Chains A and B, each alone.
Chain A
Amino acid sequence: MSSPAFQIRSGRIRAVAPGMQSALRARLTVVPRLRTRTSPLPFVTLVSFVLLAGVIGLLMFNTSMQQAAFTTTTLEQQAKTLSAREQTLRMELDVLRDPQHVALQAQRMGMVIPASPAFLRLTDGKVLGTPAPATREDGVRLLPRPPAKPAVLDPAPNIVKVRAKNGAASAGNGGEGGKNKHQSDGDR
């Protein structure tokens, strides 16, 4: 690429010597461009650097994104586990708070739901209502009655009346089932 430039330059040198005319002609020749020979290295370096930076950046971005995805998954998993645990605990709590459960526990401890409510007014210490101790009879049966057994499995008690030696009759604790007294204090 540089060889024609040399030719022009050498032509000019030759043209000065013959005289005016040739000098004038030489003056009309194209002024050679001033070409500074720049090194391509900086540009190549820049391009390479940009390219490399881009690739590394992309790689790092990708890696960090993957890392973030992993973290997300881990945290989501953790949140899920914790929430499942919370639900399980809440379920257990609901079972413990179930009125039936509480009542059974209380009954086992000998507690009874009182039949007659009474209040103690704190301002003057007055008792409102008729306080009465709660007895076993006030209690409510918390569990359903077991189903009645068929007669084969639940035979009637065998009652034997034993006469005392001295002749006095001792009353047998007789069949209460026979004396099923019908109450009728209702109305029609």
Chain B
Amino acid sequence: MRRTVSRPLGTLRGSPQLRLRVGFLVIAMVVSVFGARLVQLQAVDPNAYAAMAAAEGTVTLDLPARRGDILDRNGKPLAGSIEGAMVVADPSVTRDYAQELARFLAHRLDVDYFVTLKALRQKDRKFAYIARRVPASQAEAVVAAAEKAGYKGLDTRHDPIRDYPAGDVAANLVGFVGTDEALAGFESNFDDLLAGKDGSERYAVGVGNRIPLGDATIEPPADGHDLQTTIDLDLQWYTQRVLRQTVEDARADSGFAVVMDTKTGEVLALADHPTFDARNPQAAKPKDRVTRAMTDVYEPGSVSKVLTLSALIDAGKATAHTRVTVPRTLPSGDRVIHDWFDHGTLRLTLAGVLAQSSNIGTVLAARNFDSGQLRDYLVKFGLGQKTNVGVAGETQGILPDRSIWTSMTQDRVAFGQSLSVNALQMAAAVNTIANGGVRVSPSLLRGTAVTDDGLVVGSDTTTTQRVVSRNAARQMARMMERVVDPEAGVAPRAQIPGYRVAGKTGTAQRVGPLCGCYNGTFTVSFAGFAPADKPRFTVYVVVQNPRNGGGGGSVAGPAFAKIMSYTLRRYGVPPTGTAPSKLPTTWRPGQVASR
């Protein structure tokens, strides 16, 4: 070591202080580079980097929530979700043999070749929908077969299918769903409630495979709630069949029928015809896919006399025995009121006026009302207001406003013209008489449910209101019994052998859609309840524009009898066995009025 050594090296070796400083300086430089990078990553647009990192190594999948069922009152499904699957592909894998695979899939699944080809060929994508709402077993089979044939990159995921096992039964109420959205009926009106909330799944992937212990988060889907209706599936089916036969045989435009539980106001059946098959809604005209019973307005005609005359009795202006002398015609303002049948001067009791459905007799009796009194009663019966049972697009009907309520208006309203209703409104109004004068608000859903518009509906929100006295309602029920009497009344075909049936026919002139005037066609209807002395059910049948010349008694009456007798048998309601009403319908001068 005697040779001269270069000095700097020697100095360096000899001074650890300096070495340390230099070392620290180097470390500080490196650390500050890291720091700068950290600032760049965290301070300058950190989200973009986070997203890039996430996209690099993780996969996010939607987990569809199970859609709630729509059930009948006994829990039978009107609409249900069944296990289905979507077939998905990884285009980064399938790109190479997209053509062959697309042909394979087009053969096996109900998919379009070109759409599939495009999906399978997407660039820089790891996920593509191929087919949705395929029955689970079929989807599994197709993917397995594809794998066997050497095509990789296909997979299946949970994707429920909407099924309507009852087909056209209650289809107008239930509605239907399209591929991605609910389109009609309860399905669309309660979509938020039924749909639930989709979840999602994220997991880490490496080289296309899921990393077993990698980062994975699952946000489980919140399944939708079931919606239980008050509809009785079997009764609804029978009602629809009877209604279809009635409408077809009368060569009518359309018809609807309502079956209501008298005490609870629950609607057991709400039938429409024409209707559609919920499994294939595209086959039907759009106007046949709505609930006509709730969206159509029509003039109720003589069924409304039940409301007029019971209000009259309640107001103390008449009784069932009140004597009315009915002339041939009756002038009302600038018009003349006729009866449906030609007659001379008749001597009818109020019961006879109802049994014979005399317009003139009703108007004469109703002229005893104080001004506006009838309108107040009709409002209490629920006319002119929505029933709010959860059907979208319900009409509130037309009750002439107080400002245009003249004596002429009242004359016409008394026998059910110049006012419009929807079928459920009218059924609920007649049910008021069945329920001893207390109106029960109708309901179509059990419990409570909230529509997408925020309206709370359901049987828990039922309200009751006394409209007429118990005595008035009982008298009216006995008067209505005379309507189906073979001798005294006009609708003997609405009678059910062995039972006491109370009812009322209606034949109203229809307002045409073109001219806004009565166009010579008719709305025929029958409303009634049974057993008359202890009512359990109210049934209301309406047929629009029958072309066989029939009226309320001959067209709607037999349909009423069929539906009512089926309902009574189904719910095990035996006849009460009491003597039927024998209220006198006519009177003779000099005869002493008897009770």
Contacts and interface: CB of A to CB of B under 8 A. Distances in A.
Interface of A: 65-66, 69, 80-81, 83-88, 90-91, 94-95, 97-100, 103, 113-119, 121, 128-130, 132, 140-142, 144-145, 182-188
A187 B553 contact: yes
A87 B136 contact: yes
Given A98-B166, A115-B561, A187-B490, A141 B241 contact: yes
A188 B137 contact: no
Contacts of A114: 565, 569
Interface of B: 76-77, 80, 82-83, 135-137, 140, 163, 165-167, 169, 212-213, 233-234, 237-238, 241-242, 244-245, 248, 301-302, 338-341, 356-357, 359, 490, 496-499, 505-509, 522, 524, 548-555, 561-562, 565-566, 568-569, 572, 574-575, 577
A50 B301 CA distance: 97
A187 B507 contact: yes
Contact of B577 (A100, A128, A140, A184): A128
A109 B94 CA distance: 56
Nearest to B244: A144
Contacts of A115: 561-562, 565
A16 B248 CA distance: 140
11 contacts: A84-B135, A86-B83, A87-B82, A88-B135, A91-B82, A91-B165, A98-B165, A99-B169, A116-B497, A187-B340, A187-B553
Given A84-B140, A116-B496, 16 more contacts: A90-B82, A91-B82, A97-B165, A98-B169, A99-B166, A99-B233, A99-B237, A100-B169, A117-B566, A119-B574, A130-B497, A184-B549, A185-B551, A185-B554, A186-B505, A187-B506
A140 B238 contact: yes
A87 to B, nearest CB: 4
A100 to B, nearest CB: 6
A57 to B, nearest CB: 16
Contact of B241 (A121, A132, A140): A140
Nearest to A94: B165
B82, B499, B507 interface centre (most CB from chain A within 10 Å): B82
B568 to A, nearest CB: 5
Contacts of A119: 572, 574
A156 B566 CA distance: 38
A122 to B, nearest CB: 12
Contacts, number: 143
A178 to B, nearest CB: 15
Contacts of A121: 574
A90 B82 CA distance: 9
| Binding site secondary structure of chain B | mixed
Contacts of A103: 237, 241
B338 A188 contact: yes
B555 A99 contact: no
B550 A117 contact: no
A183 B242 contact: no
Given A84-B136, A187-B340, A187-B357, A129 B499 contact: yes
A6 B76 CA distance: 101
B245 A141 contact: yes
Contact of B212 (A66, A98, A100): A66
Given A87-B83, A91-B163, A116 B498 contact: yes
Contact of A129 (B245, B498, B562): B498
A186 B553 contact: yes
B530 to A, nearest CB: 10
A100 B170 CA distance: 13
Nearest to A121: B574
Contacts of A117: 496, 498, 565-566, 568-569
Contacts of A65: 212-213
Contacts of B242: 140
A97 B234 CA distance: 10
A124 to B, nearest CB: 13
A145 B135 contact: no
Nearest to B168: A100
B548 A113 contact: no
A87 B80 CA distance: 11
A167 B550 CA distance: 42
A141 B244 contact: yes
B550 A183 contact: yes
B340 A188 contact: yes
